[in-house]
Each structure stands twice: as C-alpha cells, then as structure tokens.
C-alpha cells in the first residue's frame, strides 16, 4: 500500500484464538441489497431527521457491511470495520466495569462525530455526523432506530 492510500487494511482471515462472530441470517449474509426496503428507509430517515448526519452504515459485529446510506466518497466498508473495532473496545470496557452489554459509543473528532449503536447481538449502526450535529438529539433518536433495525433483521 502506498503512503497516499487512505484505505483501511482488509482482514483476510479469522484469528484462531477468537470465537467466530454470530452468523447473520442466510438472507442477509453477503447480500448488499436487502429484501426489506424498511431497513433502507430507517437509515435514510435518520439522516433526514437529524441535521448534520452525513451518512450511516448497518454492519455486522464482524466488521462486514450489510447495507448503508452513505454518500459517494464515504467508504461504507471502512465505516463498518471501524464500527466493529469501536464495538470491540466498548464491549471490553463494559465487561471490565461490569456495566452489562454494549449499547453505544461516540467518538468526537475536530470536524465531526462517529457514533456506533448496538443493533441486537449481531449488528451495529454507525453514524457519521458533522461537527455541528446535535449529539443529544442523535442519542435520543438513534437508539429507537437501532431497535427497529434489530426487529427487521430478526424477520429476515
């Protein structure tokens, strides 16, 4: 990879010392176009309801993208991988502190936010927002979206 590349490295093999991640239902695994338009509608609605949301990705806890509502120039596969990394760290923090299951994590950068929400035990919703986003509104609106997405995934 040259120094000008901005892509994240791709995982090529599962680490043998880690248990395999939960499997997605067969109708979702490896299928970028989901049979439920309601999933795409939920992602688009999130962007429309929260000013400052730039895009969102629904991915598995293994870091693989399920579907997305991300604009051109934003790599949804990289966002799904970063969400899984954020989930891994958040899960370890939760376990060490005895605070129960991972629910949500937010990273604030100089020009924006990256928030990750649990969507049931096998998926993650990641949201990218500009610095001017109302984070409190995002944290109020996104968890119910994640719950609805979990129900839709369970129906697949």
Q: How many Cα atoms occupy the beta-carbon half-sphere of 118 within 13 Å?
A: 14
pLDDT tens figures, 21-53: 444 444 444 444 444 688 888 999 998 999 999
- pTM beyond 0.85: the answer is no
Residue 127 lies in a domain: yes
**Which residue range forms the structural domain that includes residue 104?**
37-155
Residue 85 lies in a domain: yes
pLDDT tens figures, 58-101: 999 999 999 999 888 899 999 999 999 999 999 999 999 999 99
Residue 119 lies in a domain: yes
Q: CATH no. for residue 51?
A: 3.30.450.30
Residue 28 lies in a domain: no
Strand order in the sheet with 104-109: 65-69, 53-60, 123-130, 112-119, 104-109
Number of domains into which the chain is organized: 1
């Amino acid at each position: 990879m040259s120094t000008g590349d901005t892509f994240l490295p791709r995982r090529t093999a599962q680490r043998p010392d880690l248990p395999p991640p939960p499997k997605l239902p067969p109708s979702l695994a490896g299928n970028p176009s989901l049979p439920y338009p309601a999933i795409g509608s939920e992602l688009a609605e999130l962007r429309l309801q929260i000013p400052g949301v730039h895009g969102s990705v629904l991915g598995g806890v293994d870091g693989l993208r399920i579907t997305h509502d991300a604009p051109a120039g934003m790599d949804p596969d990289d966002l799904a991988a970063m969400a899984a990394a954020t989930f891994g760290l958040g899960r370890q923090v939760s376990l060490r502190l005895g605070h129960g299951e991972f629910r949500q994590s937010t990273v604030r950068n100089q020009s924006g936010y990256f928030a990750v929400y649990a969507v049931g035990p096998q998926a993650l919703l990641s949201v990218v927002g500009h610095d001017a986003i109302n984070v409190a509104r995002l944290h109020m609106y996104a968890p119910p979206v994640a719950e609805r997405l979990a129900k839709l995934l369970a129906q697949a």
